[in-house]
Amino acid sequence: MECIFCDIVEGRAPAEVVFEDGETLAFMDINPANPGHTLVIPKRHVRDIYELDGETAAAVMKTTVRVARAIKKALQPDGMNLVQSNERAASQEIFHFHIHVIPRWYDDGLRLARPPEVRRTMPIEEAAAKIRRGVAKE
């Protein structure tokens, strides 16, 4: 399996690392949406959120919070987006779980898909009932 993020973890590919602990790695995105755009990943290969266990999820989020606070202090953005995508339909391009930490400034020109176009192809109550059944089985 070829994975650029695994190569970065193993030191086989370069990265501008900003934080590392036993379970996670945070490094600068090479195609930043804004200055300070950082990626946070688990060191262990996890394809997407569907393969992510609770312990690894907690470690990644703990690092994400630490990095977001450091970005806030260092660059003083007006806001912050956390972006995480899964599978091709959601624009996942690198199939190793990662969270984008993107600093935002008023009038920075960055357009994320928010707010989304409202599409009511299924009643909210029906979707909620299906999700509740799924959560109960987890």
Q: How confident is the model at residue 119 (pLDDT cuts 50, 70, 90)?
A: low
67 belongs to a structural domain: yes
Q: Which bin fits 109, alpha (ψ -120 to 50), beta or left (φ > 0)?
A: left
Domain count, the chain: 1
127 belongs to a structural domain: no
130 belongs to a structural domain: no
pTM above 0.85, yes or no: yes
Both tokens of 12, joined, read 């086989």
Q: Residues with catalytic annotation?
A: 98
Question: What is the rounded average pLDDT of the residues 65-83?
Answer: 95
As a whole number of angstroms, the distance between CA 91 and CA 17 comes to 24
Q: How confident is the model at residue 118 (pLDDT cuts 50, 70, 90)?
A: low
24 belongs to a structural domain: yes
Per residue in 20-55, pLDDT (tens digit) is 999 999 999 999 999 999 999 999 999 999 999 999
Q: What CATH number is attached to the domain comprising 37?
A: 3.30.428.10
Query: Which residue range(s) make up the domain with 54?
Result: 4-113
pLDDT at 138: 72
pLDDT at 114: 53
